[in-house]
Amino acid sequence: MPYLTYFRTVQKILYLLFSITFFTSTLKAQFGFDEMVELSGVVMSSDSLRYLPFVTVAIPSRNAGTVSTERGVFTLIAHKGDTLEFSSIGYRKKRYIVPKDLPQNRYSIIQLMSQDTFYLSTTIIRPRVSKEQFEKDFKSLDVPDDKFEIARKNTEARTMRALMAVLPKDGRENQHAYQNMQAQRNYWAGQQPPMTIFSPLAWMEFFNAWKRGDFKRKR
């Protein structure tokens, strides 16, 4: 009896191992796990061998891809036989075909890219007619505002008041106003709220609004 029990236990273990192996092989064949490759590498320039950051590594046939890091490193999942396309501004596009006979599911490459040459049209630089003409053109030159100046103009008090007068409140502002109103009611619950007509701060705000012209009728 002990030998029979031992034999049955070994038989169950072997059957379980065979089932797991068969299921794994079937799963790989069904979903194509054997064809997938974890491809990683470094993109460098061919002349100076320096890292190329933010290079687009695309697989056009699968609408997939990635972008290299600041040190030119990239990693993506591809299939054996896929064509990778490397592109970057100022460099010629390169293509790389993943070998179909890779024995493993991990592969590393070093992709070199050469600079591209752009030919510009001829430009003729001529001096000003006179010094006076240069001073006149220089003084009348319209210099556009930078981002800091644009942000300052958009956030100044006069601009904000004009926008508040014409733009409706959004959901967050309405919620904030409603919560303030409820807080005021709960604060003065069971007692008489004070009269703000005798508040010097309220009168000061009234005179400031009067000077700004907030009460003028808009045409």
| In a shared domain, residues 71 and 134 | no
**Secondary structure, 3-state, the chain:** CHHHHHHHHHHHHHHHHHHHHHHHHHHHHHHCHHHEEEEEEEEEECCCCCECCCCEEEECCCCEEEECCCCCEEEEEEECCCEEEEEECCEEEEEEECCCCCCCCEEEEEEEECECCCCCCCCCCCCCCCHHHHHHHHHCCCCCCCHHHHHHHHCCHHHHHHHHHHCCCCHHHHHHHHHHHHHHHHHCCCCCCCCHHHCHHHHHHHHHHHHHCCCCCCC
| In a shared domain, residues 98 and 138 | no
Structural domain includes residue 142: yes
Structural domain includes residue 107: yes
pTM (2 d.p.): 0.44
Number of domains making up the chain: 2
| In a shared domain, residues 42 and 93 | yes
Domain that holds residue 169: 128-184
Model pLDDT for residues 71-100, shown as the tens digit of each residue: 999 999 898 889 999 999 889 999 999 998
Model pLDDT for residues 132-155, shown as the tens digit of each residue: 888 887 788 887 888 888 888 888
| In a shared domain, residues 132 and 95 | no
Structural domain includes residue 22: no
